[in-house]
Structure 1
Amino acid sequence: MSSDTASGRNDVADWWRTSIIDMEPGRIAFRGTEIQDLIGKVSFPEMIWRMTRTDIPTPGQTRLLEAALVAAVDHGPQAPSIATARMAVTCGLPLNNAMASAVNTLGDVHGGAGEQAVELYAHVESYDGPVSAALDAWIAARGKIIPGFGHRFHKPVDPRAPRLLALVEEARQQGACDGCHAAIATAIEAELADRKGTPVPMNIDGATAVIFAELGFAAPLARGIFCLSRSVGILAHAWEQMQQGGRNKGPTPPAYRWTYDGD
């Protein structure tokens, strides 16, 4: 084989580079572990960790990640992502297209607060000053909306957040995390209540962000993992709508009309 041919083949082989999977006929390995040694032995949350990280989680870390995944699966058809999935099915789309349409609505406003809350906790952690000053600096740079706190529907408390924080505390006591970010989130919650004169409790995004931060996930992965979690609800609603039937269902019943404010 000529050197030019060998070089060309290397150019092709090196076009994509990955440390995630090694595969050849009759063999599949993820991060150095054969697939047959993972199947039936590793949970799906642990597999998510192994695929997105280079380390292997402890059982306590896996349980905490699983709790975050379970907590965020669904929030009903009033959530844009869920409504999109159901509407897509009534337009004749199969499940995969409905799911893709729905996941694509998970952006900075709907679905992005968890990532932003992880960034907020990191900001407060690294800030040279009290939580109040760190929060002022955040607001000056990012705006008045504080990600992960308050909820337009669940008042006075998002029922998911206290349970998740309790599990974080259990994990801290068992050595699965150090509780640093849970303490930061609680301090932010207290500061917001002091400023508003009324409780501004942590919501699902703030609580799952505590878990992702405690487990050492990078902020963008918080959104990615939320998408994995919410995909379960999206699939369930798309499938349910498929069983119910219906054609071309829009966001409101046909008898209702939008407000026209033109001339």
Structure 2
Amino acid sequence: MTQAFDAAKLAAEYWSTSIIDIHPGSIKVRGFPIQELIGNVSFPQMIWLMLRGELPDAAQARLFEAALVASVDHGPHAPSIAISRMATSCGLPLNGAMASAINALDDVHGGAGQQAVELYDSIAERMEAGAALEEAVEQGIDAFTAEQDKYLPGFGHRFHPVDPRAIRLLSLVDEGVEQKSISGRYAAIARGIEALLKQRKNKPVPMNIDGATAVIYAELGFAPELARGVFCLSRAVGILSHAWEQRGRNERNKGPMPRQMNYTYTGKPERHLS
């Protein structure tokens, strides 16, 4: 009897979770019966509840939803979107195409939001230690470029001189600051980075979508790694949309560029075995 009890206790504790409690006829998410959540909370609110343990207030939910909406898609030239379309043309089902595409959202393509939050946090820590905003920004940027990369995550864009998504998101951030629903601390840090980059490069280097959403996620208290996680949730919508559109076309084995365009071969000239 004792062994059976110990085994049952061990099994119950093996996958212990504070997220969901399920019994026959009962499903509670973070303590809320699921039937009370259905029809009463939005999907962004549900994501917040799952990740954070509580429901967001109206102002938090609005900013969070704006960041999710802004990141859903950036066209077939975005690697993750292109991968979803190619995978679909190769015969993968929607889930396979989505998995293939989401797996590409790593440090280079998809990681800038997380990296920007980490950069903002490092500057915020310097400010907490007594540095003024301008000094903390300069120290944070110099440390980042020395230790990691000369390209700052969240600033500049290879396609957009000014990212229209960032402009709208920052206006919503400013509204939140005026309404005192967020502090504005991270918005000030991000704009301090913009100012320093403009001074050093003698030209504007505007915040892009990753920098702006990082401001929102940082203002809302999300951990840096979650900034990437929720970006993946957002971009999954675009990935699914493009995979589904591709499914409706009778194209097989679609490669990364049209068949009429050749690639450049840089290997040895033709040679033969002796």
Cα distance per residue 1:65-91 (max 9 Å; x no partner): 000000000000000000000001101
Partner in structure 2 of residue 118 of structure 1? 117
Q: Residues 113 and 147 of structure 1 are in contact (CA less than 8 Å); yes or no, is this contact kept in structure 2?
A: yes
Take 2:36 and 2:209, find their aligned partners in 1: how far apart are those partners? 34
Aligned counterpart, 1:257: 262
Aligned position for 1:46: 45
On the 8 A contact 2:30/2:54 being kept in 1, the answer is: no
Shift of 1:144: 0.9
- Note the alpha carbon deviations across 1:164-214, whole angstroms, 9 max, x for none: 000011112222211100010000011011111000000000000000000
**Following TM superposition, by how much is the alpha carbon of 1:260 offset from its aligned partner in structure 2, in angstroms?**
1.2
**1:153 aligns to what?**
159
| Count of residues paired in the alignment | 261
Aligned to 2:188: 183
Check 1:176–1:245 CA distance in 2 against 1; reply closer, same or farther (3 A cut).
Answer: farther
CA distance in 2, matches of 1:132, 1:13: 51
Matches within 5 A, 1:100-115: 100-115=99-114
> In structure 1, what is the equivalent of residue 230 of structure 2?
225
RMSD: 0.9
Amino acid in structure 1 at the alignment position of 2:154: G
Cα distance between partner residues in 1 of 2:142 and 2:255: 41
Report the TM-score, using the length of structure 1 for normalisation.
Answer: 0.97
How many Å separate the matches in 2 of 1:162 and 1:229? Answer: 19
Q: Distance in 2 between matches of 1:249 and 1:138?
A: 39
Partner of 1:195: 200
Aligned with 1:14: secondary structure? helix
Counting only pairs closer than 5 Å after superposition, residues 202-241 of structure 1 correspond to structure 2 as 202-241=207-246
Q: Deviations over 1:102-139 (max 9, x none)?
A: 10100000000000000000011112541212211221
Contact 1:84 1:102 in 2 (8 A): yes
- The alpha-carbon deviation at position 141 of structure 1 amounts to 1.6
Contact 2:46 2:55 in 1 (8 A): no
Residue 169 in 1 paired to residue 168 in 2? no
Q: Distance in 2 between matches of 1:223 and 1:71?
A: 14
C-alpha displacement at 1:255, in angstroms? Answer: 2.0
Identity rate, percent = 60
Q: Aligned partners of 1:171, 1:243: CA distance in 2, in Å? A: 42
CA–CA separation in structure 2 for the residues paired with 1:253 and 1:33:
52
1:68 counterpart residue number: 67
Task: Name the TM-score, length of structure 2 as normaliser.
Answer: 0.93
Letter in 2 for 1:66: E
Are 1:89 and 2:88 matched, yes or no? Answer: yes
Q: Offset at 1:259?
A: 1.4
On the 8 A contact 1:58/1:176 being kept in 2, the answer is: no
- Cα shift at 1:143: 2.0
Contact 2:119 2:140 in 1 (8 A): no
1:22 corresponding residue in structure 2: 21
Provide the C-alpha distance between the structure 1 equivalents of 2:109 and 2:140, rounded to a whole number of angstroms: 25
Query: Is the aligned partner of 1:247 residue 2:246?
Result: no
Structure 2: gaps of 5 or more residues: 269-274
Secondary structure of 1:29's counterpart equals strand
Point out 4+ residue stretches in structure 1 off by more than 2 angstroms. none
* CA–CA distance in structure 2, aligned partners of residues 23 and 96 of structure 1: 26
Task: Give how far 1:13 is off.
Answer: 1.2
1:257 CA drift (Å): 2.1
The residue aligned with 2:141 is 135
